[in-house]
Amino acid sequence: MSRRLTPSTITLRDVAALAGVSMGTASQALNNRPHVALETRARVLEAAQSLGYRPPRATLGHHTLSVVGMIVKHDVGEPFVVNPFYSYIQAGIEQECQRSQLSLMVANIEVDRRNRPVSWPPMMLDRRIDGVLIVGAFVEDTIHQIRQHSDIPIVLVDGYAEGNLFDSVVIDNVNGAYAAVRYLIERGHTRIALVGTAPDSYPGLHERRTGYIRALKRSGIRKPYFADFDVTRNGLTRENGYDAARELLGRAPEITALLASNDQVAVGALNAVRDLGRAVPGDVSIIGFDDQDVSHQVSPALTTVRVHKTWMGKLAVEMLRRRAEQPDRPITTLAVSTELVIRASVRSMENRLASRPGAAALTTPL
C-alpha cells in the first residue's frame, strides 16, 4: 500500500519521482545550481509546486548547509548518562561547526530494548536542520526510518548500514586490535583472550574481534580465548567486563593477557584479576581500546588503543558539508586510523619469568 502524501510528508524523493529525475538533479534544480537544463529545472519546480513541497532551509538560503543536527540514542526508561566516548565526538562536531559558522542542534532518540526508536526529536519532524549526523550504532531499520523522515544529507559517525547508502566516519578497528595483539605477542604472550564481544556484535566490535583473530593466526597461535557477552542488551560496562573476565580466568587460568573491547571493560577486567588474587601486569597483562579518560586514571595506567574521537566529529561535519554541496558525489567511508598508547598494564613474559624465584636457573643456557 502506497503511503499517503501530505505537505508535511512530501520529500525530495517524491519531487524527483514526479519530475522523472534523480534526487541529485532535483536538489540541484531547487538550489538553482548551474549545469541543469532549463527544461529539467522547470519540470522539477513544477513538480515541487504541485506536490506542495516545503524544501529544507538549505534550499532557501545562500548556504547549502546552515543548521546541523546531531542524533544520539538513549535507552527508554533509563537515566540519561553522557557517553564518555561520544562526548569527545560531540566536542569535535561543535568545534568544526563553530569554525565553519554552522549552527548545531543536538537531540536524543529514545530506543527500546531492541534498539528501535520509540519517539522522534522535534528537529527531525519540523525540518529545522539541513543535515544530520547519526552518532553511534543504531539498528539499520532505525537509520532508514530517519532517512524516510527527511531528505536531508546524512552522515553516520561510528555507525554502519548495509548497502553503502550513507557517508560514514568509522574507526579502523581491525588494525587497531591487530596492533594491540601483536604488541602482546612480541612480549612473549601466547595465551591471549578477547573480552567483551560476541559473534553477532555491532560491526565495529566485530571488526575488533577480526583484528584479534587475524593477529593470532598470523603468529601461528591456534587457540583464541573469548569472554563474550550480549553487548546489545548489556552494554560495554565495567560490571560486564568484570563478570566476563572473572568467569574466563576461572575457567582458563593459563591466560596471561587480555584485550578488552573498550576501556570500561578493561577496568572491569582489571578488578576481576585482582579479586582472583592475581596482579596486573605481573600475572595478567591488559590492553584497553578507545583511550578514554579512565585509561590513565586507574593504577596501573592502561595500555590502550587510541581512537581520535574529536577528529571523528570534525571530519564528519566536513563530510556532511560536502554531501550537501555535492549530492551526486560517490558515497564515502572514511576509516580513521588508531595508535597504540603504551602505559603500564603490559609486562614482558621474559621479565615475568626473571622475577620469579629460581628463574635464573631457567634462563641460563645449558
Half-sphere exposure of 30 (CA within 13 A, CB side): 31
> Hey, what amino acid is at 143?
I
Show Cβ contacts of residue 114 under 8 Å, excluding neighbours closer than 6 positions.
139
Q: Which long-range contacts (CB under 8 A, 24 or more apart) does 98-104 make?
A: 100/317, 100/321, 102/65, 102/66, 102/67, 102/68, 102/317, 102/321, 103/66, 103/67, 103/68, 104/67, 104/68, 104/69, 104/70
> What kind and span of H or E run contains 52?
none
Mean residue pLDDT across the chain: 85
pLDDT band at residue 21 under the 50/70/90 scheme: confident
The three cell numbers of residue 10 are 512530501
Q: What is the pLDDT of residue 265?
A: 97
pLDDT band at residue 49 under the 50/70/90 scheme: confident
Nearest to 32 by CA among 9, 55, 14, 3: 55
> Hey, what amino acid is at 77?
G
Question: What domains lie within the chain, and their CATH numbers?
Answer: 12-55 (1.10.260.40), 67-169+311-333 (3.40.50.2300), 173-307+340-355 (3.40.50.2300)
The beta-strand segments (E) located in the chain are: 67-75, 103-111, 131-135, 154-157, 167-171, 192-195, 225-227, 257-260, 285-290, 303-307, 333-336, 338-341
Q: What average pLDDT does the segment 267-282 reach?
A: 98
Which segment of 4-8, 28-32, 40-44 scores lowest on mean pLDDT?
4-8
Q: What average pLDDT does the segment 233-261 reach?
A: 94
Q: What average pLDDT does the segment 190-196 reach?
A: 97
pLDDT of residue 133 exceeding 90, the answer is yes
Contact (CB, 8 A) for 47 and 19: yes
Q: What is the pLDDT of residue 152?
A: 84
Report the alpha-carbon distance of residue 238 to residue 256 in Å, rounded: 20
pLDDT band at residue 48 under the 50/70/90 scheme: confident
| Residue ranges in 31-139 assigned as alpha helix (H) | 38-51, 84-99, 122-125
Report the alpha-carbon distance of residue 346 to residue 352 in Å, rounded: 11
Pairing between β-strand 103-111 and β-strand 167-171 as defined by DSSP bridges? unpaired
Count CB atoms within 10 A of the CB of residue 123: 18
pLDDT of residue 74 exceeding 80, the answer is no
Q: What is the pLDDT of residue 108?
A: 84
% of the chain exceeding 90 in pLDDT? 55
pLDDT band at residue 205 under the 50/70/90 scheme: very high
Is there a cis peptide before residue 281, judged by omega within 30 degrees of 0? yes
Count CB atoms within 10 A of the CB of residue 300: 18
Torsion of CA 260, 332, 142, 27, to 10 degrees: 160
Report the alpha-carbon distance of residue 30 to residue 28 in Å, rounded: 6
Report the alpha-carbon distance of residue 210 to residue 196 in Å, rounded: 13
> Hey, what amino acid is at 151?
D
pLDDT of residue 77 exceeding 60, the answer is no
Q: What is the pLDDT of residue 31?
A: 66
pLDDT of residue 328 exceeding 90, the answer is no
pLDDT band at residue 319 under the 50/70/90 scheme: very high
Q: Residue 243: exposed, middle, or buried by beta-carbon count in 10 A (0-12, 13-18, 19+)?
A: middle
Q: What average pLDDT does the segment 307-321 reach?
A: 97
